[in-house]
Structure 1
Amino acid sequence: MPNRLFIKLLLGFWLCSSLIIALVGLLPLLQQNHDKAPLAPHLEKVLAGVAQRMQANPSLIPSDFLRHWERHRSMEGKPLRLYLVNSQGQVINTNRVSRSVRNFMLMADEEKHPISHQFKDELVFGPYAFSLQGEPYFLYGRLPDSHPRPWFFFFIENKLLTLSLAIALSGLLCGLLAWHLGKALNSLKKSANALAQGDLSNRVDSATTERNDEIGELASAFNSMADSIETMVNNQQRLMGDISHELRTPLTRLQLSLALARKKGQQSTETDRIAYEAEQLERLITELLELSRAKLSTNETKVHLGLAESLSQVLDDAEFEAAQQGKRLTIEIEESIELSHYPKALSRAIENLLRNAIRYAAQEISLHATHSATQVHITIKDDGPGIDAQELEAIFKPFYRPDSARQRESGGWGLGLAITEAAITAHKGNIKAQNCQPHGLEVTITLPA
């Protein structure tokens, strides 16, 4: 089966160029057909009358008969000029022959019968053939005459403008074809970018998938691929959550056994170590479950609420924690900011960022929230040591902890920022980190308003 997209491109450009060539090529033919007409009876009667007088009196030919006749005759108040032509094509009654008359003689000779032709400001007609003393003669007439010209004459007389319009029309038609193809490709590109940024629910619109060409087939294949990826990733997250949940059962039994051993007086350095590691394992499992819930967004529904109200408890806790460490937290949130969000997920994301900032800040931490018509911007900044530039994007990956300025001394497993990134992605937002000058780290969250 022929390539349908190839056929669209071929027919589009071929029809476009053919249409322009046909329109431009038809203009001279339209002009010729409009101006050229059979010789009118009243004009033929005038030429026949003059010819009959010369046939009746051959001596009129070398005389000024025609010039004298023109002075006393007119048609509808317009002067009539006559041209007598011999068999050699020479005009014998005057030496002044206009270019239009000469052009008409050639035109009439090709037609082989009497015609009339409307030039820009005169009407030329003939020839009326007659013979005198065995010699053929031809009589032509010219009459000043102008009449309204059709619209296409404007384009014939203004060739540069006609060429410009043809180029513009060609560009318009090709532009429509390019838009028809580019719109679908742009929709496909947006969906691919959204999928790459973690929005697994994004799909190519139905207008693109319903196209009966290769682009429509590609869009359908892309949606099928996106469905498979979303299912696979969700299954993976559910598996991680299920495994983490199942690990709690043997861990609970282990902690219960330790409690019973301590109750029986069997406490030792080894049991204390086992209890510590069990506690660490409990915290790890809790964070894994939190990461799974954040990625699946199955633990709560969205609400439309003011940002300051939604984060009030988290901000109070952060101010208290900063004060306990002798550091200052500055909070600036516009009261008018409202958005649809998952309160627990967003609060956990901001809480993780604020705790990191407080932990590594020297003295100052700040949180600023502003909004525009379409977005909400939240910026958390500290004056700590910052992070190596090559690690700025990796810090949001699960189990990643930088070995540079922010050390591993805090413990943890590198899941806090991964949970934050998952929560922001669930809101269809984005998060990025960058170092400040002369030192410090700034994390910016952008959410749809």
Structure 2
Amino acid sequence: MIISPSPNRIFIKLLLGFWICSSVIIAAVGLLPLLQQNHDQAPLPPHLETLLSRIANRIIEQPELLERPHFKHFRNIKNFRGKPLRIYLVNEQGQVVNRDRMSRGMRRFMLMAEEANHPISHQFKNELIFGPYEFQVHDEQYSLYGRIDDHHPRPWFFFFSENKLLTLSLAILLSGLLCGLLAWHLGKPLRSLKQSAETLAKGDLQHRVDPSTSKRSDEFGQLAQAFNAMADAVENMVNSQQRLISDISHELRTPLTRLQLALALARKKDQGSTEIERIGYEAEQLDQMIGELLELSRVKLNFNDVKHPLALNETLTQVLDDADFEAEQQQKQLVINIDDEIRLPTYPRPLARAVENLLRNAIRYADKRITIEAKYLDEQVELVILDDGPGIENPQDLQAIFEPFYRPQSARERESGGWGLGLAITKAAIDAHQGSIYATNAQPNGLKVTITLPAH
């Protein structure tokens, strides 16, 4: 499968993501002083300029008002739109001539106005100061400032400029949020790919990466397409292998049937001998092995079957009855502890065959007692088969016994006439259920096989 290159690269996404994130934070923080400066140097509103002009014209017309006894006539104007208004008259030396003291806010505003080099107005927390309005009297330069005492709402950015620690915290939080969104955007397809790889590793060869990931135009989409192509190839290869084993087994059945027929004819003609009996025994063994191979292929190729939600006791009824009868014939005890309420979606025949193989092995090697029990464990059903036999000597063989044709050199297997296919069939059936199976040596002796199956 050829994947065409795409200009939408992860490198570009990472670069743009972090670039945009840092740019937004820098712009937001850097914009605050600019907004404050623009607010500090706001032009003098026309109605306030008219007010100062009117007062200045009055002073020009009545120069005697500049004398100290007359300062009280224009210090305060009480009826300016219902708010108290204070007037400050400043001479060329920057001294306030109509008042003895000047507030800190007024000093700060005079510096701001001098820096702006034009009449401005500024909203402090509890006062509005505006000016200057310049005029001349007797060749002397004067400036007029006004102050309205009132609680005025301030622009929102003043809150951040005055609370720098909070602003820094919000900047860090916003940066984390933007980077988190970017990480989530990049991590989502990775989680999808990881889940698909784990599902494929568990034996679900039909699982593919979801379309929302495989249709992406970046490297994640290309990786998902490559993964799906690999999964297709693996599924085809495994299915072809199983079909080959199945086909070969079927083909072997034909000459084997002829051989068994020839042996039967020879026995009818009283041509029996030790050699013929040996050939007959080996033919029966070969027939059983071919049957096991066909069963293994059938279990592995029938992943497309529909699961049926059934009670576990209902699925295993015949198997448990047969195992109880077999154990009784060998003077052994089979203890069954499976709750009737346990239900789960199953492939009935493969699951029954898997449990049957485990119970037969347990009965064969047990001394006196075999136990099978099932219970709910979180979102799974746990099925445990325990015997009191010799167990498996080599711990490395505990998981390998579920591989086809693997026969450990232990006390459990030396007496067996099997080919190492029974437990392989069991594992294939459990894998088909998306479950797991493992074996451990019990204490003080025996073998414990644990099966976990999805409950939903």
TM above 0.5, one fold? yes
Alignment of 1:259-278 (within 5 A): 259-278=264-283
Q: Which runs of 5+ in 1 are unaligned?
A: none
| Contact kept? 2:372, 2:386, Cα under 8 Å | yes
Question: For residues 432 and 298 of structure 1, do their structure 2 counterparts lie closer, same or farther at Cα, with a shift above 3 Å needed?
Answer: closer
Could you tell me how far 1:260 is from its partner in structure 2? 1.9
Q: Say whether residues 1:434 and 2:453 are aligned partners.
A: no
Match of residue 445 from structure 1:
451
Q: CA RMSD in A?
A: 2.3
Could you tell me how far 1:298 is from its partner in structure 2? 7.2
Residue-by-residue CA offset, 1:126-157 (whole Å, 9 max, x unaligned): 11111233332222222212223344443333
Match of residue 207 from structure 1:
212
Match of residue 291 from structure 1:
296
What secondary structure is seen at the aligned counterpart in 2 of 1:408? coil
What secondary structure is seen at the aligned counterpart in 2 of 1:202? coil
What secondary structure is seen at the aligned counterpart in 1 of 2:381? strand
Match of residue 122 from structure 2:
117
**Percent identity between the two aligned chains:** 67
Output the CA distance in 2 between the equivalents of 1:72 and 1:26: 38
Q: TM-score, normalised by structure 1?
A: 0.92
Amino acid at match of 2:85: L
Q: Say whether residues 1:168 and 2:168 are aligned partners.
A: no
Could you tell me how far 1:290 is from its partner in structure 2? 0.9
Output the CA distance in 1 between the equivalents of 2:12 and 2:429: 47
Match of residue 323 from structure 1:
328
Output the CA distance in 2 between the equivalents of 1:72 and 1:228: 92
Match of residue 424 from structure 1:
430
Output the CA distance in 2 between the equivalents of 1:7 and 1:35: 41
Match of residue 308 from structure 2:
303
Could you tell me how far 1:74 is from its partner in structure 2? 5.2
Could you tell me how far 1:168 is from its partner in structure 2? 1.8
| Contact kept? 1:396, 1:421, Cα under 8 Å | yes
Could you tell me how far 1:309 is from its partner in structure 2? 1.6
Q: Say whether residues 1:86 and 2:69 are aligned partners.
A: no
What secondary structure is seen at the aligned counterpart in 2 of 1:376? strand
Could you tell me how far 1:36 is from its partner in structure 2? 4.7
Output the CA distance in 2 between the equivalents of 1:207 and 1:112: 61
| Contact kept? 1:293, 1:299, Cα under 8 Å | no
Question: For residues 40 and 340 of structure 1, do their structure 2 counterparts lie closer, same or farther at Cα, with a shift above 3 Å needed?
Answer: closer
Amino acid at match of 1:395: I
Alignment of 1:56-67 (within 5 A): 56=61, 58=63, 60-61=65-66, 63-67=68-72
Output the CA distance in 2 between the equivalents of 1:32 and 1:144: 22
Could you tell me how far 1:164 is from its partner in structure 2? 2.0
Q: Select 2:221's aligned residue among 191, 205, 216.
A: 216
Match of residue 395 from structure 2:
389
Q: TM-score, normalised by structure 2?
A: 0.91
Residue-by-residue CA offset, 1:407-435 (whole Å, 9 max, x unaligned): 32111111110000001111222211122
| Contact kept? 2:75, 2:98, Cα under 8 Å | no
Could you tell me how far 1:73 is from its partner in structure 2? 5.1
Q: Select 2:140's aligned residue among 130, 135, 139.
A: 135
Output the CA distance in 2 between the equivalents of 1:298 and 1:121: 78
Could you tell me how far 1:60 is from its partner in structure 2? 4.7
Match of residue 354 from structure 2:
349
What secondary structure is seen at the aligned counterpart in 2 of 1:438? coil
Could you tell me how far 1:58 is from its partner in structure 2? 4.8
Q: Say whether residues 1:412 and 2:422 are aligned partners.
A: no
Match of residue 3 from structure 2:
none
